Amino acid sequence: MRIERTVIADIPEVEKIYSEARAYQFQQSGYAWPVFSKSFIEKEIIDKRHFKVLDKDDEMAGVFSIVKAEPIIWNDKDGKEAIYLHRMAIRNRYRGKKI
């Protein structure tokens, strides 16, 4: 496995991974992420904050993004910066593979 920055051409595959993750979330808890727009994903890619996890055959096994602050989600009122792995999603067939 290796991690690389996602590129614009990867967006259709990224959308598939997020869709599969939403279905899994909903199945497990009745709750799921909202649908992330193409422009939202594209902005993260342009900002070099979106990454893909590739298997040995270069298949995209999962994705994630990074953010340096998320005061609403992590209740960080002081604005301290950290690096957060965000919106991590993995294809179902890779679950349990210690990725």
> pLDDT tens digits for the chain (99 residues)?
899 999 999 999 999 999 999 999 999 999 999 999 999 999 999 999 999 999 999 999 999 999 876 666 666 666 667 788 889 999 999 988 888
CA-CA-CA-CA dihedral for 63, 25, 92, 86, to nearest 10: 20
82-91 core/surface letters (b: 16 or more CB in 10 A; e: else): eebeebebbb
